[in-house]
Amino acid sequence: MSRVVLISGSLRRGSVNSAALRAVRRIVESAPGAPEVISLPIGRLPFYDGDVERSGAATAVQAARALVADADALVISTPSYNGAVPGVLKNALDWLSRPDGASPLAGRVVAVLSASPSGRGAIDAQPALMDLLDACEAVVVEHPPVAIRRADRRLDAAGEMSDPEVLAALRGLVDATFEAVAILAGQRRSALA
Ligand SMILES: Cc1cc2nc3c(=O)[nH]c(=O)nc-3n(C[C@H](O)[C@H](O)[C@H](O)COP(=O)(O)O)c2cc1C
């Protein structure tokens, strides 16, 4: 495992989803072999436009594709906006689902979590996100759902996710992600043998 890419579905500076991913970063970076962890800033991507794609796609899109193509795994944390993923995240996944037949998401291990100040932890956005990832042929990490409820109350004075219960759940998700990457690598090795 050499590279993990993090995607927050929220652009807000004080985002609880981005705080959850900063905690994921700390967990991954403390793992043996410490893979490189890179955040993908999806707010810089233009709206998907087939004409822009046909004319060579924007630099930010090409950079995002290259980053994902080089990653062993992605971790996506999403809020729920009216029961679905925010448009900015859907837009990023639409770009990453292209070009048709050569999406960098295809065969990529992706772990999903959600966070919200509400009592449901934005869990209602997770099925739609998983359906989207399935459509992109990503390998969604199998793990009991991680939905951080009352997420704003789990932050410390520095705005970091420090709640032990949350950190334990995130550690479990990171472990499952590492395992999924190892299993997939083993399967690819045996397919080549
Ligand atoms: C357009 C919009 C729709 C929202 N819909 C929901 C919702 O359906 N369920 C929910 O729990 N929170 C909803 N919220 C509140 C978000 O969960 C809350 O703003 C959360 O903090 C966003 O995540 P972030 O802190 O990572 O930005 C909505 C917020 C916005 C702006």
Q: How confident is the model at residue 65 (pLDDT cuts 50, 70, 90)?
A: very high
DSSP-derived secondary structure for 67-121: HHHT-SEEEEEE--BTTB--HHHHHHHHHHT-STT--TTTT-EEEEEEE-SSTTT
For 30-63, the pLDDT digits (tens) are 988 889 999 999 999 999 999 999 998 789 999 9
Cα of 143 to ligand 1 centre, how many Å?
Answer: 24
Q: Is the CB of 159 under 6 A from ligand 1?
A: no
Q: Is the CB of 153 under 6 A from ligand 1?
A: no
CA distance 28 to 3: 10
Three-class SS state of 74:
strand
Look at residue 34 in the predicted model and tell me its pLDDT: 85
Cα of 89 to ligand 1 centre, how many Å?
Answer: 13
Look at residue 140 in the predicted model and tell me its pLDDT: 98
Nearest-CA neighbor of 20 among 36, 6, 32, 33? Answer: 6
Cα of 117 to ligand 1 centre, how many Å?
Answer: 8
Cα of 80 to ligand 1 centre, how many Å?
Answer: 5
The phi and psi torsions of 3 (rounded to 5 degrees) equal: -145, 135
Q: Are 73 and 112 in contact (CB under 8 A)?
A: no
Q: Are 35 and 4 in contact (CB under 8 A)?
A: yes
For 160-171, the pLDDT digits (tens) are 999 999 999 999
Q: Is the CB of 114 under 6 A from ligand 1?
A: no
Q: Are 110 and 140 in contact (CB under 8 A)?
A: yes
Q: Is the CB of 35 under 6 A from ligand 1?
A: no
Look at residue 111 in the predicted model and tell me its pLDDT: 98
Q: Domains of the chain (ranges plus CATH)? A: 3-192 (3.40.50.360)
**Which atom, in ligand 1's list, is nearest to the CA of 17?**
26
CA distance 112 to 114: 7
Look at residue 192 in the predicted model and tell me its pLDDT: 87
Give the mean pLDDT of 136-165.
Answer: 97
Cα of 62 to ligand 1 centre, how many Å?
Answer: 29
